[in-house]
Structure 1
Amino acid sequence: MTVILVFFFAHWFFSLFFHTFFLHRYASHQMYTTGRGWEHVFYFCTWFFQGSSYLIPRAYGVMHRMHHEYSDTEKDPHSPHFFKDVWGMMVETRKIYNGFVTEKHIPEPQFTREYLPRWDSLDRFGDHMITRLVFAVGYTLIYVFFAPHWLFFLLLPIHFLMGPVQGAIVNWCGHKYGYSNFDNGDHSKNTTPFGIFLMGELFQNNHHKYKNSPNFAKRWFEVDITYPVMRLLHGMRIIRLKPVQLKA
């Protein structure tokens, strides 16, 4: 059981870290700069830890920029206020995302003016169905060898869809449940003051107020555990945090 729990939480937190650190705070918002070598390291780690649910950074970045521009309106790619349930929201989000991946859907110029990281060879490999299936088989084998009871196999779908599951929790809960520090003209909420299990991502109300701030926590009792890691990487000169441009 220990092996399964360690594997599950390691996959959850490493996948989530590179989701929030690279896909969200870098690809979408450019909260920091880094050298091309380190960008490739972070890019590779995002693919590796997301595995079977890998999200291509350039497509994610465009979609997330749309989310901020059109937050909780009909043009928002994943506002929970236009869907009956989270599954319907996930299906529509995937449809929009796939349009950007295949480039059949050309985004408005305002969403591509700012830098979007791109590594086409890795994206072709990581997004291939065979690559995703290899990851899925690997996850399954770990459970075959180490799960003490068949009930643990119920965790496998979360491994298979780790990135979308985490994104669905953030986008559904972060715009429906919790409290607000700011009036942003949308339905964004801070779902919990702790934010540990989503590494700061559930401070949606704070983030929509100050979308360029790398620290999603704004009150003394709020904890964004990704931000201290970013400060450490900044101190090590691996990344350079940009001066925060606070939204008026």
Structure 2
Amino acid sequence: MAILIFFVVHWYLSLFVQTFYLHRYAAHKMFTMNPFWEKAFYILTYVAQGSSFLSPRAYAVLHRMHHAFSDTERDPHSPHFSNNAFTMMWKTKEIYNNVLNHRVEPEQRFEGNYPVWNAIEKIGDSYYSRIGWGVAYVLFYIAFATQWWMYLLLPIHFLMGPVHGAIVNWSGHKYGYQNFDNNDKSRNSLFFDFLTGGELFQNNHHKLPNRVNFGVKWWEFDPTWPIIWTLDKLSIIKLKAPKAKTARTKVAA
């Protein structure tokens, strides 16, 4: 039981920082926060993702590229230019590392307006940190695993951030329905997206990239939106009201 609880907590905590901090804040700046909370969520992102920590800067740049070049050959992670999810993940990793390590210079329009904390980035991307977190996961399993098959979950812990990204980008651009014609292959894969925190409303998001609530139709539930709404009411973040209240218009019947 302890192993399954640990897995679920790690899954959803890592998922939360990816959709809330890396995606909606770093890449899109759908809301603002003061320097204290920006650093607090930066640290939470490092702790939650652990061995698969993703740089907010590199994530933001790749995601902005994804929107600009959606489902074309220049898209860093379109499933339509890879044979399977693993080759897509590998391609994304190569582009991510090139951006992270400044081996390529992205277009200027993709740069800026994202959180930067060089010390945490240096630690998070180091082999010492990644291996250290991996060892911690293994030790937890040694202490609490009661069945051999539980150890099969460890690779997901090691690559939690990329696993979430692979699910969203593969499924969200291949399977599901479309509310909008976005001139790409984005899809909404789930009606109630508890699996990826609202991220699988890809078609909605590509049409309305600055809308905080990824659900558009009344039956599309984005579970991250109530959390964001609550954080705004607690004055931890501040929603950009005009973008948060985007009208539900032009939805296909």
> CA deviation digits over 1:47-68, x for unaligned, max 9?
1000000000000000000000
Supply the AA of the counterpart residue of 2:93: R
2:241 match: secondary structure: coil
| TM-score, with length taken from structure 1 | 0.97
Return the offset for 1:244. 3.9
Distance, in Å, in 2 between the alignment partners of 1:86 and 1:14 is 23
- Tell me the distance in 1 between the aligned counterparts of 2:137 and 2:242: 40
Q: Kindly indicate whether the alpha-carbon contact (under 8 Å) linking 1:200 and 1:217 is maintained by their aligned counterparts in 2.
A: yes
1:4-23 equivalences in 2 (<5 Å) = 4-23=3-22
| Aligned mates of 1:243, 1:194 — CA distance in 2 | 25
| Structure 2: unaligned runs, 5 residues or longer | none
1:13 deviates by 0.2
The CA distance in 2 between the partners of 1:244 and 1:65, in whole Å, is 21
Whether 1:173 aligns to 2:175 is: no
1:210, distance to aligned residue in structure 2 (A): 0.3
Secondary structure of the corresponding residue to residue 13 of structure 1: helix
1:207 counterpart residue number: 205
Q: Which amino acid aligns with 2:32?
A: T
Q: Secondary structure at the match of 1:64?
A: helix
Alignment correspondent of 1:156: 154
* TM-score, scaled to structure 2: 0.95
Partner of 1:118: 116
Alignment of 1:38-77 (within 5 A): 38-77=37-76
8-17 vs 125-134, which deviates more? 125-134
Question: Is it true that 1:132 corresponds to 2:130 in the alignment?
Answer: yes
Q: CA deviation at 1:145?
A: 1.1
Q: Which residue of 1 aligns with 2:235?
A: 237
**Which amino acid in the other structure matches residue 94 of structure 2?**
K
Matched, 1:37 2:24: no
Residues 193 and 221 in structure 1, CA contact (< 8 A), matched pair in contact too: yes
Q: 8 Å contact 1:14–1:49 — kept in the other structure? A: yes
Q: Is the Cα–Cα contact under 8 Å of residues 192 and 203 in structure 1 kept in the other structure? A: yes
Separation in 2 of the partners of 1:96 and 1:105?
9
Paired-residue identity, % = 51
Residue 197 of structure 1: CA displacement? Answer: 1.3
2:104 corresponds to which residue? 105
The aligned counterpart of 1:84 is: 83
In 2: Cα distance, 1:199 partner to 1:47 partner: 19
Distance in 1 (CA, whole Å) between partners of 2:52 and 2:210 is: 26
Gaps of 5+ in 1: none
